Amino acid sequence: MNSWAGTMHTPNSAAAAGATANSAGTWGVGRYAPSPTGDLHFGNLRTAVAAWLFARADGLGFVVRVDDLDSQRCREHFVDSQLADLQAIGLDWDDRGAELRQSDREAAYATAVDKLAGQGLVYECYCSRKDIQQAASAPHQLPGEYPGTCRDLSETQRVKKREELAGQGRGPALRLRAGCSEFSITDRLHGEYTGRVDDFIVRRGGNLAQARDYAYNLAVVVDDAHQQVTQVVRGNDLLSSAPRQAYLAQLLGLAAPEYAHVGLVVNANGQRLAKRDGLISLRTMPAARVVGEIFASIGCAGATSLHEALESFRPEALADDYVWAAG
């Protein structure tokens, strides 16, 4: 397959494409979009501050979105506690009190999938997780990539597979029929980055008696375009997802945002910070300590507010991981 290069879009190009000015009178928007599956820990809060600083330093608006797409894991009380935690560390955002929620956006995701289907760019997948894991163990197959098992099935084969799944009370997933194996983006901290693109899921399969969620890679692209997001700042564990999302945006005729993937907060062993590492959320740490350590970790030591931190903010300080010192 060919490798296609993606084109990154700055706030100016978004304006040229017909975006409207936000409430601050500026072109373009940054965002922070947590999933309400638990408390925000220090690493999450640090990324939220980074996203705010990037946006405000560039004169952009800033929104917070509730990425509650996972109906099995998201909980309403975490929506409230996460928004309260963001306010407690001093974040402000343009849509406070009217945050977009992915759980309200099913019709928009369905429209996007219909558009892809109209171009012949989706197909049903009948594979179980076990099927994919077994196929991934084959020679030359990269771990985690879908091997294309259901991509070229005949209609007769699809009818049989569909009936087999229905007999188990399950429905098929929908996958993108990717036209490339790699796609390139430009990241503000990492430069040009080329990542793999496979036939990733756009709508999940599963139990017919339950709602089948649309996939994150689809939802985030649709929602960023809807909110006129021109800048996405997030942890570098999601860098490999950016080529997929930028490629999908291109297929949907949408402008991809500028990306900046910041370093993670890790423990002394270089592992991503987790609950086992101790006192890591506002449930157990004073907000003043959290804010102070966040500022120190991004090169803004001594700042007492986000607006003070903005005066000394250097984006390059966020390129590397930050080692969390417990205690």
pLDDT score of 219? 97
Task: Domain 27-101+215-323: give its CATH code.
Answer: 3.40.50.620
Domains 27-101+215-323 and 108-207 share a fold: no
The candidate with the shortest Cα–Cα distance to 252, out of 65, 113, 104, is 113
The rounded distance, in Å, linking the Cα atoms of 69 and 223 is 12
Q: For the chain, give every domain's residue range.
A: 27-101+215-323, 108-207
Main-chain phi, psi angles of 56, to 5 degrees: -70, -35
pLDDT score of 278? 66
> Do β-strands 258-262 and 265-266 pair in parallel, antiparallel, or remain unpaired?
unpaired
Stated as kind and residue range, the H or E segment containing 11 is: helix 11-16
CATH homologous superfamily of domain 108-207?
Glutamyl-tRNA Synthetase; Domain 3 (3.90.800.10)
Tens place of pLDDT per residue across the chain (327 aa): 333 333 333 333 332 233 344 444 457 999 999 999 999 999 999 999 999 999 999 999 999 999 998 888 999 999 999 999 999 999 999 988 899 999 999 999 999 999 999 999 999 999 988 888 776 655 555 666 899 999 999 999 999 999 999 999 999 999 999 999 999 999 999 999 999 999 999 999 988 867 678 999 999 999 999 999 999 999 999 999 999 999 999 999 999 999 999 999 998 888 887 766 665 789 888 899 899 999 999 999 999 999 999 999 999 999 999 998 765
- pTM, full prediction: 0.87
The rounded distance, in Å, linking the Cα atoms of 31 and 264 is 18
